[in-house]
Amino acid sequence: MEYVARQEGRIGDTIFQQVHASVLQWEGVLFCPGMANTNAITFHTMDEARDMIDYKVHYTRTNWSDPAVQQRLQAAEK
């Protein structure tokens, strides 16, 4: 989304913030399996999220040129 918006001139420079992984252990932190501002999106505790996150597509060797893998990767990045 950011790339397209930048190419279309709807936004200028972007800044990406890095967040330390320890934040995931803070009390009250929630996970949502998509864009947080989407209608009817659900929020989950980090314990619940462990079974929902597609770790394989991020951390193992996968064929990113495969359309099915690309779809999984895009979903996981959101």
Instruction: Give the pTM.
Output: 0.62
Across the range 14-38, mean pLDDT stands at 90
pLDDT, mean over the chain: 89
Give the type of residue at 30. L
CA distance 73 to 19: 20
Instruction: Provide the pLDDT for residue 18.
Output: 92
Q: Which of these, 54, 50, 49, 45, lies nearest to 74 by C-alpha position?
A: 54
Instruction: Provide the pLDDT for residue 43.
Output: 96
Instruction: Provide the pLDDT for residue 64.
Output: 80
pLDDT band at 22 (very low <50, low <70, confident <90, very high): very high
Radius of gyration of the chain (CA): 15
Across the range 25-49, mean pLDDT stands at 92
